[in-house]
Amino acid sequence: MPRLNHNEDYWLYTCAYNSSNKERKISSVKILDSTLREGEQSLGISFTKRQRLQLAWMLDYFGVDSIEISPVISDSHFESLKEMVRAGFSAQIISHGRALPEDIELARKCDAEWVAMYHSVSDIHLKSKLRITREQALERSIRAVEYARQHGLKLRFTVEDASRAEPSYLNSFITEIAKAGANRIGIPDTVGVMLPGGMANLVRLARDATDLPIDVHCHNDLGLALANSLAAMEAGADQIHTTIDGLGERVGIASLAEVTMVLRLLYGVERNFRYEMLSELSALVANYTGSQIPHSKPLVGRNAYTHKAGTHLSAIISDPEAYEVVSPREVGNRRRIVFGELSGKNGAAFLLRILGVESTSEISRKIARGLKNLQCGDLFEIELPESRELPHSMSSGNKKEEAEDEEQAKGTRPESLQAEANVEQALRAR
C-alpha cells in the first residue's frame, strides 16, 4: 500500500481495513479520458477546435493512456480528431462512433488507429430506441466489427446499457463480438443503476465470455460512478473511463481527479501522472465553458481544503494530516482557513498570531466569544502556507521562541516534513 506523506500508525490501520475486501492485487490500471466526447454531452459544455486540442495536449501531458473523441458530431470534431492524430501524442487517440460503416469511414479519413463503436444490448433500448430484435442487433454489430478489422483498425466494442441487459444474451453477444475480431470490450453502466457488487458481477460475466481486456464506463446518476469503477477494476477490468470533473450526459461519469488519486492513495497503483495538474485541468474547463467548479468537488473544489470549525483549525494548524489525506499542493489546490463564529479559542489565537499580536488564553476566549456573538457566520478566510512552520508574519512574537525555531530549522527536519519533501522530490523525478 502507498504511504505518500503519511508516517503514523493510523495509516497502517486504514490500509488494513481497505485491503480486507480486495478480490485481487491491483498492480496497474489504464485511464481513458472522455472529456472531449462524453464531457461535451454535459449541459452547457461545448469546446472550440482550439480548446479541444489544448485539453488533449494537457491530458496527454498529465499522463492518461487514451483520449476519446467523436468525429461524427460535427466538422469541427472531425478536424479536431485529425489534428489530434497528427500531433503524435503519447496517449492513444480513439475515434468514437456507432457500429455503422459510415462512422468507421470517418475514423479512417482521420487516420485513426483505434475506433470505439457501440450498440445497445438491453431490450428497452432495442425496442424503444432502435426498434430492432436481439438477433438484428448482434448481426449489425458483427458486420461493423468485421468491417473495421478488414480495414486494419483496432477496436473497442461497447455493449451499451449492459447493466439492464438479459445476462445470457449479454454473455453470448460479447462472445460473438470477440470472435468477430474486437480487441477490447467496453462494459458501461449507462444509467448508473449498478451497486458496486453488481458492477463487479457484470465484469465477471464479461470475463467469462472473453479473455479480451475490459473497459468500464460508469455513469453517476445515483452517485456511484467512482465506487462502481473501482469495483469493476477489482473484478478484472483494466481500463477506467473518466472525464475532467466527471462531466458527461446528465450528471456525468467518474472524475479523473478522484479515480487517479484513489488508485494512487488507496490501491498503491503508481503511475507517472502529473497529479499537480488536476486543479489546473478543472480550472481550464471552467474557463472555457463559463461554468464553475463545484466548491464541494473532492480534491479540486474550493472547499476541499477549506477548514472552518475551531477543533479542526486547531488540528490543521498543528498537523494538516489530521484532516487532509492528500496535501493540496499534490493536486494543485490551496489550503484555506475560515474565520467567523465557529473559529473557537484556537482559531482566535491563530488569528492573533497572524496579526503579530501576543495572546493569552483569556484574550483568545474573549475574541472567540465576540466572533460568535456577532452571529455573522463566516467573516473572512485566508490561505494557509503549505509549510507547517508559520512564516515570520504569523510568528508568536516571542524572540526566544523564534530563535529556537530557527535553530531547529537548521537541524533535522520533522519526520512528517521530511516525508513530504521526499514525495515532492519523487514527483519531480518523474
- Clarify whether residues 186 and 317 are in a common domain: no
Residues counted in the chain: 430
- Clarify whether residues 212 and 271 are in a common domain: yes
In the 8-state DSSP scheme, what is residue 184? E
Using the 3D structure, point to which of 238, 266, 289 is the last residue of a domain.
Answer: 289
Task: Please give the tally of structural domains in the chain.
Answer: 2
CA–CA separation, 49 vs 288, rounded Å?
12
- Clarify whether residues 213 and 346 are in a common domain: no
- Clarify whether residues 206 and 114 are in a common domain: yes
Q: Which domain holds residue 37?
A: 9-289
In the 8-state DSSP scheme, what is residue 113? S
Q: Is position 119 within any domain?
A: yes
Q: Is position 90 within any domain?
A: yes
Question: What is the pLDDT, as a whole number, of residue 311?
Answer: 85
Q: Is position 4 within any domain?
A: no
Which among 22, 32, 65, 30 has a CA at the least distance from the CA of 267?
A: 22
- Clarify whether residues 312 and 358 are in a common domain: yes
| Per-residue model confidence as pLDDT tens for the chain (430 residues) | 444 555 566 777 777 777 755 666 787 899 999 999 999 999 999 999 999 999 999 999 999 999 999 999 999 999 999 999 999 999 999 999 999 999 999 999 999 999 999 999 999 999 999 999 999 999 999 999 999 999 999 999 999 999 999 999 999 999 999 999 999 999 999 999 999 999 999 999 999 999 999 999 999 999 999 999 999 999 999 999 999 999 999 999 999 999 999 999 999 998 999 999 999 999 999 999 998 999 999 999 999 999 998 888 888 888 889 999 999 999 999 999 999 888 888 888 888 888 888 888 888 888 888 888 888 888 888 888 775 444 433 333 444 443 443 444 344 334 434 444 443 444 444 4
Q: 166-179: b or e for each residue (b if 16 or more CB lie within 10 Å)?
A: eeeebbebbebbbe
- Clarify whether residues 125 and 250 are in a common domain: yes
Residue 143: give its domain's CATH number: 3.20.20.70
Q: Is position 3 within any domain?
A: no
- Clarify whether residues 255 and 395 are in a common domain: no
Q: Is position 77 within any domain?
A: yes
- Clarify whether residues 267 and 234 are in a common domain: yes
- Clarify whether residues 338 and 268 are in a common domain: no
- Clarify whether residues 269 and 395 are in a common domain: no
Using the 3D structure, point to which of 289, 312, 332 is the last residue of a domain.
Answer: 289
Q: Return the SS3 of 337.
A: strand
Q: Is position 296 within any domain?
A: no
Q: Is position 122 within any domain?
A: yes
